[in-house]
Amino acid sequence: MTPNGLMILCAVIGSGAVTALDSWLLRRLDQRKDMEQAIAESSTIRRLD
């Protein structure tokens, strides 16, 4: 999606929806980072490698 298309989409759906989408996306990224860190620190996973 082009930047102009993104701006139009944001204008159509409203700032509240954009904020909710941003919040959801950031939570998902944070959960993934936490999961990857837990896997990296897991002694069981290290033994399997």
Question: What pLDDT, in 10s, does the model give residues 24-46?
Answer: 989 999 999 998 888 888 877 76
Query: Considering the entire predicted model, what is its pTM?
Result: 0.52
Contacts of 10 (CB under 8 A, 6+ apart): 18
Tell me how far CA of residue 36 lies from CA of 2, 29, 31, 40, 43, in angstroms. 31, 11, 9, 6, 13
Residue 18's pLDDT band, with cuts at 50, 70 and 90, is confident
Question: What's the pLDDT score for residue 33?
Answer: 92
DSSP letter string over the chain? --HHHHHHHHHHH-HHHHHHHHHHHHHHHHHHHHHHHHHHH-HHHHHH-
